Structure 1
Amino acid sequence: MVAPAIGLDIGSSAVRAVQVTAGRRGPAVLERVGQVLLPRGAVREGEIADPEPVAQAVSTLWSRYAFKGSKVALGVGNQQVVVRKMDLPFMPEDELAQSLEFQVQDSIPIPVDQAILDFNTLENYESAQGERFNRVLVVAAHRQMVDSILGVVRGAKLEPTGLDLDAFAMLRSLVPEGFPGEGGEMLLDIGASVTNMVVHHDGVPHFVRILLMGGDSITSAVVDDLGVEYDEAEDLKAAVGMSEVSGLGREHDAARVITERALRFIDEIQGSLDYYRAQPDAIPVRRMVVCGGGSQLPNLRQRLAETLHMPVEHGHPMQSLKIGNVGLEAEQLVQAEPYLAVAVGLALGGMA
């Protein structure tokens, strides 16, 4: 019997897990989905600030949703992670892996003895002078930050089996292998305090950026400006979003604050896209796909489309999965799907 693969996403507002099993002759089967909210401040900007409640939330997640097995694939995405596109002298991938720290030590802002390194090969090419190169995306993560994640997971009596970049997990779930490509796309996973951005072409990543911005900054602005409690600010954000609310009153004031803060976020996305497009090897980006809790802000998708002059669609991380007996109604799965891109991608990666 094939063992299930479980992806565990430790976000800033919640821990989420997805369990999948390889289909015998078809797609992978979704068997379990679960989420447990975290106390505010336990994870800050994607980094674990208070390990005990996070470990407790993970333990609760396992017991409440009856996940089978203790082996989990993990993701990481915060400012302690650096992603660089680099051209390195050609060598087989196993040799490149062994020599990576020497190849990149002068190109990343983390001492290599304090970093965990990995790479994703984009292409091999030959220069006009006949020299061969590997074009790679190099990922460097501070070892201390990674150790804090591993400590929490082990504290919940689970066994980490792999560590992936959240952005790559999102790409894996939103652009499954074998699905027809749409050419150059930008993917955005808008979380509570971290937004992962990937530009890809038919599933091959060309640009990755991690932004310390998300839905929580909008909620906090409403709290500060209107003097309301956090939960009420969340309700106002979900109700009015970037709408034009006429007259006076709390909803009008909330819409103004939400729109102002969300436009700053859109400007940051525009700046990142402009930066990428200025690169000599940039590919045309013709479409954007969004997911994550922050993507549910009313009218955000429309404003992004107007500003960036491209179609902006909602992503569907469960599109390649067969839905098993997960214990949720179809409508509940639809509501949960925007939050699951990283967890689904980690689980799919854990099957490899």
Structure 2
Amino acid sequence: MDYLRPELGEDETPGPEPEDIDALVLDRLAAYGHKAELEDEAEDEAEHGDEAEREQSEDSDDAFEEAVALEDPETDEAPDFAAEQEPAVEVVLEAEPEPGEPEVGTIAPGPSEPERRRRRALRDRSGTPSPRKGKKSSKDKKPKKLVGLKIGASQIAAAQIVNNGAPELVEVFREPLEPGLVVSGEIRDPDALGEALKRFFELHKLPKRGIRLGLANNRIGVRVFEIDGVTDPQQLDNAIRFRAEEVLPIPLDQAVLDYVVLEEEAREDGTSVKRILLVVAYREVVDRYLQACRGAGLHVVGIDLEAFALLRALEAPADRDSTAGALVAVAIGHDRTTIAVSNGRLCEFTRVLDWGGWSLNVAIARELDKAPSEVEGIKRQVSLARDTEVEGLTSEQVTKVRSAVQRALDGFTRELVASLHFYQAQPGALGIGEVVLTGGAAHMVGLPEAVGELVGVPIRLGDPFKRVKVGPNIAHDIQHGSVAVAIGLGIED
């Protein structure tokens, strides 16, 4: 699939843009998701000739209107892929029923056990096709050493992973990012971000090759649907593109898309039914990220959705027992929350919610008549599990702050439940087994338990460090949730 442009090494001259975007091929949609593996043959030869050089070498003050009104009234709003759809949906590829106001704690069960057995039997008879692979040259090899790069609205995070059997976390760093460079997952100033990336990589002496970049916003979407009666690969490709063209709010020449066949079943009449995972992104969104990376001299070898990286960071691919239900990974960032639902092997559903830790800042700031940026320290001291003292606040103020945080969480939980309701309305959806929380805001004392009570399913705090072998150079005081996506981007399963 035509997807992304190869990135330039430190000594290369930028090629034409954006025309050369179509020179690239999506390599594969692998376990836990969809990765665009990029290859530039000239760079590949240089890397094989000089391995030593290879080795040497969240989220924003704009998140909500309340925050903008308090602090930055001049900030522009990024265009939203889902602007004409339900706000919580990333990309609506077919008509979505209105979920209404779901009652918290009433997530619908998945298919019954007899239905699951019937589907498993059908899959056993028909077989599940392997993921469609892109074109590969004879020299194409998976890089064993990767640097997962997550660019959020409030920070840059990078994790260097050595993939040799079990993944090993060699280095992991994060640094604050100037507000306004990245807003709602979109880059406002690629040149300034490129300079910030360059300083970040030089400061921490990170390799500039082998970079895998993560993307997540409401203009990048994932959708699962079914295609009936098509067996020829070329006809299937055309059918999926035709289906996408019918429902996308933009012309296909402005979008990049690819898909994988999740499973294939045979109906009683012999008709083949394929379950498709489709990934769609605005071409300009991808292009601006690559422009920033090129400005920093980074060689990007792959682009991945953050939802897929999140799943890799929290759990190794496995044949999950369908009776155990789906794994739901939830990463609460600065101004966005990424939701990813997995059956254990593949990501079946993902959404990005416009809600993050900054929403808690806004709620607290309203109670205390302060600016959201002024209450970050207060937020870090608040506990939802027990009464605690907060420096500079009276006991009455602490009580009001806790109530404000709880109300904000109520709104977040309703969006989460609505998203899970929508997932469970899809064909083949599993029941919800557990929810794993991560991200910086998830570390608030008592927050996982508070969300769990409202959602009504088991919730635990995820730890990406349990997924990797931790090297000796890793700082013990780094907040694990804030680097989960970066770690997942570096893991090669």
Match of 1:221 in 2: 363
Shift of 1:96: 4.8
Q: Does 1:27 align with 2:174?
A: no
Query: What does 1:37-186 correspond to in 2, within 5 Å?
Result: 37-89=176-228, 90-91=230-231, 96=236, 100-178=240-318, 183-186=325-328
Determine whether 1:341 maps to 2:480.
no
Q: Which one-letter code corresponds to 2:474 in the other structure?
A: L
Does the C-alpha gap of structure 1 residues 62 and 216 become closer, same or farther in structure 2, counting only changes over 3 Å?
same
Give a deviation string over 1:102-138, Cα, whole Å, max 9, x none.
3422133332111110223321112333221321111
- 1:22 and 1:298 map into 2 onto residues whose CA distance is 33
Deviations 1:54-87 (A, max 9, x none): 2222112211221123231111110111221121
- Alpha-carbon distance in 2 for matches of 1:13, 1:319: 25
1:272 aligns with 2:413: no
Measured in 2, the distance between the counterparts of 1:19 and 1:37 equals 18
- Select the structure of larger CA radius of gyration: 2
Q: SS at the partner of 1:34?
A: strand
Contact 2:383 2:446 in 1 (8 A): yes
SS at match of 1:105: helix
Residue 100 and residue 156 in structure 1: after superposition, are their counterparts in 2 closer, same or farther (change >3 A)? farther
* Selected match of 1:13 from 139, 154, 165: 154
- AA matched with 1:80: R
Amino acid at match of 2:348: H
**CA deviation string 1:217-245 (max 9, x = no partner):** 11123224422244441111111143575
- State the identity %: 29
Match of 1:316 in 2: 463
Contact kept, 8 Å, 2:259 with 2:276, in 1: the verdict is: yes
Asked whether the 8 Å contact 1:36–1:57 carries over to 2, the reply is no
Asked if the contact 2:174–2:483 (Cα under 8 Å) also holds between the matched residues in 1, the reply is: no
Looking at structure 1, the residues matched to 171 and 280 of structure 2 have their Cα atoms a distance apart, in angstroms, of 31
Amino acid at match of 2:271: E
1:185-218 Cα shifts (integer Å, max 9, x gaps)? 2110111111111221123222211111111111
Point out the structure with the larger strand share. 1
Aligned to 2:439: 292
Q: For 2:382 and 2:347, locate their aligned partners in 1 and report how far apart those are by CA, in whole Å.
A: 35
Give the letter aligned to residue 337 of structure 1: H
**1:96/1:38 Cα in 2 relative to 1: closer, same or farther (>3 Å)?**
farther
By how many angstroms is 1:97 displaced?
5.4
Contact 1:72/1:160 (8 A) holds in 2: yes
**Range with greater deviation from structure 2 (278-287 or 95-104):** 95-104
Asked if the contact 1:188–1:288 (Cα under 8 Å) also holds between the matched residues in 2, the reply is: yes
Q: SS at the partner of 2:432?
A: coil
Which digits, 9 at most, give the CA deviation of each residue in 1:21-75, with x for residues without a partner? 122xx41221111111112222111111233442222112211221123231111
Pairs aligned (count): 344
In 2, Cα distance between the equivalents of 1:209 and 1:200?
Answer: 12
Per the normalisation by structure 2, the TM-score is: 0.65
3-state secondary structure, aligned to 1:17 = strand
Q: Is the 8 A contact 1:100 1:117 kept in 2?
A: no
| Counterpart-to-counterpart distance in 2, 1:120 and 1:312 | 29
* In structure 2, distance between residues paired with 1:39 and 1:272: 31
User: What is the rounded CA distance, in whole Å, between the counterparts of 2:373 and 2:346 in structure 1?
Assistant: 39
Structure 2 unaligned spans of 5+:
1-50, 52-142, 389-393
User: Displacement, 1:142?
Assistant: 0.6
Match of 1:196 among 338, 355, 362: 338
Pick the aligned partner of 1:207 from 345, 349, 352: 349
Alignment of 1:239-278 (within 5 A): 239-242=381-384, 248-278=395-425
Q: Report the AA paired with residue 282 of structure 2.
A: H
Contact 2:194 2:293 in 1 (8 A): yes
Structure 1's unaligned 5+ residue stretches are: none
Stretch of structure 1 that moved more, 253-262 or 78-87: 253-262
Query: Comparing 243-252 with 189-198, which one deviates more in the overlay?
Result: 243-252
Tell me the distance in 1 between the aligned counterparts of 2:173 and 2:237: 35
**Could you tell me how far 1:180 is from its partner in structure 2?**
6.9
Aligned residue type for 2:194: A
Native 8 Å contact 1:244 1:255 kept in 2: no
RMSD: 2.5
Q: Aligned with 2:247: secondary structure?
A: coil
In structure 2, the CA distance between the partners of 1:92 and 1:224, relative to structure 1 (3 Å rule), is: farther
